[in-house]
Amino acid sequence: MGDFDGEQKELIKQLVNFRMVHGKRTRVHAIVYKTFHRLARTERDVIKLMVDTVDNIKPICEVVKVGVASTIYDVPGIVARDHQQTLAIRWILGAGFK
The pLDDT of residue 4: 58
The pLDDT of residue 57: 87
Q: How far is CA 58 from CA 10, 13, 76, 86, in A?
A: 15, 17, 16, 9
State yes or no: pLDDT of 63 exceeds 80. Answer: yes
Q: Where are the beta strands (DSSP E) in 1-98?
A: 61-68, 71-78
Is residue 90 a part of any domain in this protein? yes
CA 52 to chain centre: 11
Structural domain harbouring 87? 6-97
Is residue 71 a part of any domain in this protein? yes
The pLDDT of residue 69: 87
- Which secondary-structure segment (H or E) carries 80? none
32 — pLDDT class (breaks 50, 70, 90): confident
pTM of the predicted protein model: 0.62
Is residue 68 a part of any domain in this protein? yes
CATH of the domain at 33: 1.10.455.10
Is residue 69 a part of any domain in this protein? yes
Q: CA 29 to CA 2: how far, in whole Å?
A: 14
1 — pLDDT class (breaks 50, 70, 90): very low
Nearest Cα to Cα of residue 14 among 28, 35, 34: 28
pLDDT digits (tens, 9 = 90+) for 68-91: 888 898 888 888 888 888 888 888
What is the number of domains present in the chain? 1
Is residue 1 a part of any domain in this protein? no
CB 62 within 8 A of CB 77: yes
Is residue 86 a part of any domain in this protein? yes
